[in-house]
Amino acid sequence: MSTEDEGKAEELEQHVGSPADLPKLRESLETMASFSEIDVENEEEFDAAMALYVSLFPDPDERQDPEMIRKRLKDMAKIDTDPALQAKYGKSRFHVLVGRDAEGRVVAYSQFSTLPLSEELDQNIVYHQYVGFADEAFMQEHYGVEGGLRGGGHSYTINAAQRLLAALDAKNAGFENGTAGAILESEHIGQAKATDKRALYFTRLRLEIHNRMGAKAIMLEMEDDSLVSPHMQPRLDKDSDPVLLLMLFRPPTYDKSAIGTTEEMDLERAKAFFQAYFDNFRRVGFNEKDIAEAEAIVMEKFARAKKAVLVPPHKLPDITELAKADPDLMAQVKKKYGDPKAQAAAIKAVFA
């Protein structure tokens, strides 16, 4: 798909999450020259996209190897005619979108998969993996020009494109109930080094942006009424660590009046989202031991949960507060940042 096609741009408008978001989407379509699926055979485009990807996600524990991304894209290009690839990926599909400015420069990146849910649910869900836009530093370093691309409503366009492609994938897979929406990972508030005030600040700002676009954090309410994030991302390669993060859920459409409210979620449905997530890691070839380790921790938390709730992510306590009820998260805080009290003080100072 490409937004250079006027008909496709109109189709994107039909997949906006809320009618109230249409002005932002239209603003994006006017200012960004194109959004399209990446051409993996175009080395220049792929290299530019990977440079932006690495810039956006500098922590190697939280990003995938670009060569793995390349391989999956090449698999997708052949999957319709290759029975072995069809057996490997089943009804999941992998997509990378890039955005170009008027000068043809790659300035936006989005990576996601559509994953099959259980037979009972009979639908797919978007696993929104990475998204971001070139900031001023990237534009200066890589293109020698001033200005960045953050803002401008481009996230609304990317999310609409995801919904469009997910609907097409669901139709091609024969799912009666279409698409369930999207799951996406994000750092906890304060999940950054204490010395990096900008990064600390951005952990909450990012969640505020997700909140405005209809996303809420999947949290578990335990028997003692504490809130625990169940999510753990498996180790992405042999040199990285598994990471406890937030998992957010965004429905295919949302009522703006419900943004900022907490609501209960069916516990088994929430669990099915995580099962689809781990199944995808297996499907694309990550290490089984690493997947099983993270999956066991997540499912153990579900087994102890009283219920699942969807919480406005920017209203959650910071990582050090949530860690008080979660020994796994506390261990991660200590390993990554040292003294939890010092980390808590740094977070508090940034948001004072």
Q: Which CATH class is domain 1-179?
A: alpha beta
Q: Looking at residue 152, what is its pLDDT?
A: 66
pLDDT score of 289 more than 90: yes
Its pTM stands at 0.89
Domain ranges of the chain: 1-179, 187-352
Q: Mean pLDDT score of the chain, rounded to an integer?
A: 93
Q: Do residues 248 and 185 lie in contact, with contact meaning Cβ atoms separated by under 8 Å?
A: yes
Q: Hey, which bits of the chain come out as E strands? A: 34-37, 93-100, 106-116, 124-133, 179-186, 216-222, 227-228, 232-233, 243-244, 246-250, 263-265, 305-311
For the segment 108-141, what is each residue's pLDDT rounded down to a tens digit?
Answer: 999 999 999 988 999 999 999 999 899 889 999 9
What is the Cα–Cα distance from 136 to 134, expressed in whole angstroms? 7
Looking at residues 17-45, what average pLDDT do you find?
Answer: 89
* Longest pairwise C-alpha distance within the chain: 57
For the segment 95-115, what is each residue's pLDDT rounded down to a tens digit?
Answer: 999 999 888 999 999 999 999
For the segment 206-250, what is each residue's pLDDT rounded down to a tens digit?
Answer: 999 999 999 999 999 999 999 999 999 999 888 889 999 999 999
Instruction: Report the phi/psi class of residue 183: left, alpha or beta, with left for phi > 0 and alpha for psi in -120 to 50.
Output: beta
